[in-house]
């Protein structure tokens, strides 16, 4: 097996939203918002929702940071191109949604596809104004 470097770094986008900044009041509601965004996108496909908090709690040595009430990952793929087998290592995409004592923390790793980054950034930035689903 050989090791290669496809990207020098993986920048992480982080958006922290206080509870009073959004009408969405739970991790379920925020996940529903993002799932609707994914399903409305012409090139994206929803794959799964992973309850990271539940998984970590189930581990004998699992540790959870103070103030984290819920932690989920929505897994999806844009799948616009498949230039080579190595690109599979960077897929699918994931948006992390953590519910904390203060609000929500939304995270995702920068994609090498500008269209994917633009969509994920737009979804995240519209979250505070969202009632439930994307426009």
101 falls within a domain: yes
Pairwise CA distance, residues 29 & 74, whole Å: 13
Number of domains forming the structure of the chain: 1
Task: Give the pTM.
Answer: 0.88
**pLDDT of 6:** 53
Burial (CB count within 10 angstroms: exposed 0-12, middle 13-18, buried 19+), residue 68: middle
For 21, the domain range is: 12-129
- What tens-digit pLDDT sequence spans the chain (135 residues)? 555 555 566 788 899 999 999 999 999 999 999 999 999 999 999 999 999 999 999 999 999 999 999 999 999 999 888 888 988 888 899 999 999 999 999 999 888 888 999 999 999 999 988 665 454
60 within a domain of the structure (yes/no): yes
Look up the CATH number of the domain holding residue 55: 3.30.310
Six-digit token pair at 73? Answer: 């990952």
Whether residue 1 is contained in a domain is answered as no
Q: Is residue 49 part of a domain?
A: yes
Task: Identify whether 21 is part of a domain.
Answer: yes
In a domain, 135, yes or no: no
CA distance 89 to 75: 14
In this predicted structure, what is the pLDDT of residue 135? 44
């Amino acid at each position: 097996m050989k090791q290669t470097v496809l990207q020098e770094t993986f920048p992480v986008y982080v958006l922290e939203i206080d509870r009073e900044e959004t009408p969405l009041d739970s991790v379920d509601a925020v996940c529903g918002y993002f799932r609707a965004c994914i399903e409305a996108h012409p090139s994206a496909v929803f794959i799964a929702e992973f309850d990271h908090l539940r998984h970590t709690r189930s581990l004998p040595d699992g540790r959870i940071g103070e103030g984290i009430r819920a932690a989920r990952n929505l897994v999806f793929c844009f799948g616009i191109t498949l230039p080579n087998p190595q690109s599979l290592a960077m897929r699918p995409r994931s948006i992390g949604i953590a519910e904390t004592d203060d609000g929500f923390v939304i995270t995702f790793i920068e994609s090498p596809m500008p269209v994917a980054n633009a969509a994920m950034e737009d979804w995240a930035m519209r979250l505070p104004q969202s009632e439930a689903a994307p426009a």
